[in-house]
Amino acid sequence: MSRPPARCTGCRVNRVAWVKPRVDYCYECLPGGPFRPPPCRHCGSSAYFSDGMCDRCHPGGPRHVSSCRGCLAWGVVRRHNWRCWSCRWWQGHYPDGHCLHCGRVTRVGDTGACRLCLEQARLVQDPGRPLDLIAGNQFGQQLFLANMRFQRPRTPRLGPPTREQQRQARVITRVTWRQERLFTISPEPELIKAHVLAADRDLVDYCREIVREHAARHGWSKRQRNDVERSLRLLAVLQATPGSKINATDVLQLPRYDGNISSTLDVLAAAGLLVDDRTAPIERYFAGKTDGLPAPIRAQLELWLEVMLAGSRTAPRQRSRDPQTVRLQILGIAPIIHSWAAHGHQSLAEITREQVRAALPHSNTRRHWAELGLRSLFRLLKARKLIFTDPMRGLPATQPNRTVPLPLDTEAIRDALGSPDPAVALAVALVAFHALTSRQLRELKLTDIVDGRLTLTGRDIPLAAPVRVRLRAWLDHRARTWPHTINPHLFITRVSAPRLTIVGAQFPWRATNLTAQALREDRIIQEIHATGGDIRRLCDLFGLSVPAAMRYATTLNHPNLETHHPPVRRTQHHN
């Protein structure tokens, strides 16, 4: 780029008429003049500048057009130091350096690329895909005109698309096959995080509308919605077979890469892309307790576990049992079956009644659960004709030891009632005043409390005044903390607020030194002492059976328990 010629020594305004041969005057100031300047020898313009050229054709002219020093775009002038508007901004924000892609010495951005390489990558970038500077510049750069907005061509359409059209446009190629892995190697978290931005976006685009609907319905924050979209990109990187459904066990690995589990599972299930291959906790417990047993015994136990969890419509018919009940029976029979296997037994068909009697524990409680598990196991195997005789038939049942419920320290209950945590204060008040169970407390819904009365399994309970005070405090805290949640349950946490699940079994008792069961027993003990042993009233008030109420009635004459509440005398009113 040539420098402008010197100014006329006469007028100090116009440029000199020639540089070679040198002339120090313009046409108007030449001796003997003024003279009329000739037209431009290139374009014929009358705007003479110097050396036979106009101000646009002369390399040093003020209107001479050239390429930008930064991005090489055509259309800049000397007035702006031969830089376009964008490169003028880059000049004030980025330092000089070597571009990693084209090797030029120019202003280099944070990515190590100059503006020309950056615009080239944007030019070939696919919609919805991350910016790939290496692939975009491997075949050279396309120059462009300066000071023009850079836009990608778009497909014209008539009017905005409907939501159904958007869903149809987001098509993900599903495959019915799955590529099995030869061996499993846990990838490095840092490498996975680095490949997230360049991941296949088909999965994210397909689930974006579902993520948006879930976020609006369940009151997700922007951060949580972004976490779910990032988790979907992580799954696209980790997926062995692109286009296939995603296993839930793969989602469980996302915390290693700072991913989200629960909300991602909800989105994949709503999109129809989830294969729930998670193992139930009771199945993992069963696998740990039966590890090392002979194959025939293990097959017999697996059949028993399947019937206990799912029930059976063939003889002997039975309903499914609660997983906690199955867990207790497994705990009772596992040591016995391991001892039989250690003595060389390969099948439960070899077990006799004498061996059962010798293997049963002496403790009444452990013996009770062992007997329940063995009765259920051998009865099923006999009905399915997997054993010849039932060794448990005719053996008397052992009753478990009955414990005596004990009262709690009153000061500990008072401290919990005055807890600064509104959830703790309300939970303790509901159990201390109305003896709710832990499950009832967790499953309690907002609609179960109307006008200060609690409706619970057919019982209409008027709430005590201290409970109402703590209920108002908790509802205010709940509304302030999670204003957009649609979880219908009374107690929610940070984990359960964005979905419809109940809280965990330890909430909110982990923040106290109390348990719901011990607090409930203390409340029932106080009631049985206050009523002088009224079993009927105990059953009506707390929904107990008569045998369960009799357990608390034994505390009336217990030598180690003192009665602090005199019995209430009930008077009969006549109309």
Among 358-362, 479-483, 516-520, 537-541, the least confident range: 537-541
Q: Would you say residue 225 has pLDDT above 50? A: yes
Share of the chain above pLDDT 90, in %: 11
Share of the chain above pLDDT 70, in %: 85
pLDDT digits (tens, 9 = 90+) for 195-212: 666 555 667 777 888 888
Cα–Cα distance for residue pair 141/443, rounded to 1 Å:
63
Q: What is the CA radius of gyration of the chain?
A: 41
Q: Would you say residue 155 has pLDDT above 60? A: no
Q: By the 8 A CB rule, do 348 and 377 touch?
A: yes
Determine the pLDDT at residue 490. Answer: 92
Q: Would you say residue 489 has pLDDT above 70? A: yes
Amino acid identity at 197: L
- Provide the pLDDT confidence category of residue 574 given band limits of 50, 70 and 90: very low
Determine the pLDDT at residue 470. Answer: 92
pLDDT digits (tens, 9 = 90+) for 4-43: 888 888 787 788 888 887 888 888 888 887 888 888 888 8
**Residue 156 or residue 402, greater confidence:** 402
pLDDT digits (tens, 9 = 90+) for 509-532: 888 888 888 888 888 888 777 777
pLDDT digits (tens, 9 = 90+) for 379-392: 988 888 888 888 88
Q: Would you say residue 473 has pLDDT above 50? A: yes
Tell me the pLDDT of the chain averaged across its residues: 81
Q: What is the DSSP letter of 459?
A: E
- Which range is most confident: 403-407, 493-497, 568-572? 493-497
Output the six-digit token pair for 417: 């009632």
pLDDT digits (tens, 9 = 90+) for 241-252: 766 788 888 888
- Helix (H) or strand (E) segment spanning residue 308: helix 295-310
Determine the pLDDT at residue 483. Answer: 87
Helix (H, G, I), strand (E, B) or coil at 98: strand
Nearest to 229 by CA among 134, 128, 133, 126: 128
pLDDT digits (tens, 9 = 90+) for 300-323: 999 999 999 888 888 778 888 888
pLDDT digits (tens, 9 = 90+) for 526-569: 877 777 777 777 777 777 777 777 777 777 765 555 544 443 33
Q: What topology does CATH give the domain 403-575?
A: hpI Integrase; Chain A (1.10.443)
Cα–Cα distance for residue pair 108/98, rounded to 1 Å:
7
Cα separation of the two ends of the chain: 116
pLDDT digits (tens, 9 = 90+) for 437-455: 888 888 999 998 888 888 8
- Which range is most confident: 121-130, 252-261, 384-393, 403-412? 384-393
pLDDT digits (tens, 9 = 90+) for 52-109: 888 888 888 888 888 898 888 888 888 778 888 889 888 888 889 999 888 899 999 8
Q: By the 8 A CB rule, do 108 and 118 touch?
A: no
**Mean pLDDT of all residues in 146-164:** 54
Determine the pLDDT at residue 538. Answer: 75
pLDDT digits (tens, 9 = 90+) for 274-304: 888 888 889 999 999 989 899 999 999 999 9
- Provide the pLDDT confidence category of residue 477 given band limits of 50, 70 and 90: very high
- Provide the pLDDT confidence category of residue 163 given band limits of 50, 70 and 90: low
Cα–Cα distance for residue pair 568/532, rounded to 1 Å:
7
Among 114-118, 129-133, 391-395, 398-402, the least confident range: 398-402
Cα–Cα distance for residue pair 268/275, rounded to 1 Å:
9
Q: Would you say residue 232 has pLDDT above 50? A: yes
Determine the pLDDT at residue 156. Answer: 44
- Which range is most confident: 40-44, 329-333, 497-501? 329-333
